[in-house]
Structures are given as structure tokens and as C-alpha cells.
Amino acid sequence: MNGHPEQRRPRLLAIDDSTMIHRLLKARLKSERLEIHCATSASQGVETARALLPEVILLDVDMPDMDGFSVLAELKADPHTHDIPVIIFSGSYDTKTKIRGLEMGAFDFVTKPFDVGELKARVRSAVRIRLLISMLAQRAQLDGLTGLWNRAHFDQRLREEVTISHRHGTKLALILCDLDRFKTINDTYGHPFGDQVLEEFAKILNHGRAGDVACRYGGEEFAVILPRADSREAASVAERFRQMLREHAWIEANDLVVTASFGVTDLETISEPTAKAMLESADQALYAAKTSGRDRVIEATQHTHSLKRTA
């Protein structure tokens, strides 16, 4: 699916002030399917964890600039790193140290010098848990019927993409689309066939450019986020979608022609770089497409911005 995370090796971040420990970890874990990253100070470790969002963190309790418990507290207080399993390790065999770490939210505890077999087993367990949590979180953001991202994911992703594009000065476009007279299709052919139409349209939207993010916005309305695209490029993509749907042959209804209307906008068109402004701009363009005859692509302009949507 476009916009889904690519398959890659799980990432491990080791936070320890000893470069010898880093070399040892890389040597002992090289047979594991891991991408290993290292931080030699607590502050660097917190910063790297937030930027990298690894699947598992190995955290030394004893560091000069900030002890591991303070790092653990920061990681657990940050919503972006809160769910990353943290395995703390220390040269201390003190039971109180272990209990303190576990009560603060550590996933596991390993004592230095660590046994390689034990460390591998604990890391594998942490990675499995992290991937399971990520899988469940992703499934919660998928639409059950079409398999596209759902509205919750769309809202979050659009905010993120607007922020990234505004910060780096890159292009960003948005397509909103709506199946024309979908209620009539449901009433005439039945809801199971209506669901089939939604599924087929989702497949069409999922064949856009690599990296585009197709979502079910709600009901028969859909959205596609297009990073690094302007309104003209997005309109070209939307036109291809429109034609593919119009030409689709429906086995259960040979004479049926299903169409959709499309509203397109980009960051250059809106007055302020916010997800809300971008969504409103695309919605007004979609409204213009619906009221001017349907089955067409309309790019947002100052004219479409002056239209007030009433339906």
C-alpha cells in the first residue's frame, strides 16, 4: 500500500559512554538482523532516540552526564518514545537497581558483563513486542473495508507532511475526491455492490505515485496526500484516477458508469501553511467540481476559495 512503512531491519540504539561496549555489541550482535546505532552520552541518546525511533534501546545506567534512570524517565515522558522497549544494563547486581528500572517502565534488565546468548534472547523479545505494538497501532489506522489508511491516520499524516514541507520548503499537494451519486448506486444495486465500488475505487487510488498516501476520508469520500507535488501534478494524477474509474467495467452491472469528482490544492495555493487550510481549500475545490457537473477535476484557486459549501 502506498504510504505504508517500508520493510527494513529493526533498529537498535545503544546508549553507553563506553565505546568499547559499542564495539562489543556490534561484534556480538552482527549475526542478528539488526541495524545498530550508538550514542556515547545520555543527551545524545535522548536526541537520537527521538529522531530515530528505534525498535529497542539498550541503556546503560551509569553515565557521567546523566544517569540512565533520568534518560529512561525522559524517554517514557515523551509520547514519541514512550512505547519503545528499553533494556537497561549495569555492572551492579543490586536488586533495588533492577526494581527501580522496571518500575520506571524498563522492558528488561541485563547485568554487565552480559552473556551474549541471554542478551540476544532479550533483544529479540523486545523487538517482537515492539513490532507487535506497531502492527496493532497500524491496524487501528486502517479502514476495514478498503484497506486504505483511515481518517485518523489522514489527519495525523497531513499535519506531519504540512510541517515537513513548510520547514524544508518542499512541495505538497492534496486531492479530495467523492464518488458521484453513490446513494443512488446503493439504492439501485444494493449495499454489497456499493461496498464493491468503494473497494475498486480504493484500488485505483492506491496506484498513484510511490510515496503518495491514499486514505478513506469517510463514507464515499477519499483523500490522497502527495508529498513533493504541486497542484498541477496532483491534478494530472487525479485525472488519471477519474478516467480509470469511469472506464471500469462492472460485471454485475454492464451498463453502469461510476464517476467521481476531485478537488485539488497545494501549499502554494493556500494562505497559511496549516493542515486545516489545506483541507478547506481542497474541499472547496471538490465542492466546485460537484456543483459544476461532477465527473471532473478542479484545482483550487481564489475563485474556489470564495465558494461556500452548503452540501
Task: Please provide the size of the chain in residues.
Answer: 311
What are the distances in angstroms from CA 260 to CA 94, 126, 127, 232, 254? 66, 46, 43, 19, 18
User: Which residue out of 161, 220, 221, 299 is catalytically annotated?
Assistant: 220
pLDDT of residue 113: 84
Residue 21: CB atoms within 10 A of its CB come to 19
Domain ranges for the chain = 11-139, 151-305
Quickly list DSSP for 146-180.
T-SB-HHHHHHHHHHHHHHHHHHT--EEEEEEEET
Amino acid at 72: L
pLDDT tier at 138, thresholds 50, 70, 90: confident
* pLDDT, average across residues 223-232: 97
* pLDDT, average across residues 240-265: 95
220 is catalytic: yes
pLDDT tens-digit series, residues 159-186: 999 999 988 999 999 999 999 999 999 9
pLDDT tier at 98, thresholds 50, 70, 90: confident
pLDDT of residue 37: 96
This prediction has a pTM of 0.63
d(CA 79, CA 87): 18
Residue 199: CB atoms within 10 A of its CB come to 13
pLDDT of residue 132: 87
Q: Residues of the chain with pLDDT > 70: what percent?
A: 95
Q: Is the pLDDT of residue 134 over 90?
A: no
Vertex 57 angle, CA 51 and 60, to 5°:
115
- Could you tell me the CATH superfamily of domain 151-305? Reverse transcriptase/Diguanylate cyclase domain (3.30.70.270)
pLDDT tier at 7, thresholds 50, 70, 90: low
* Consecutive H or E run containing 284: helix 275-291
11-139: which CATH topology?
Rossmann fold (3.40.50)
Residue 53: CB atoms within 10 A of its CB come to 14
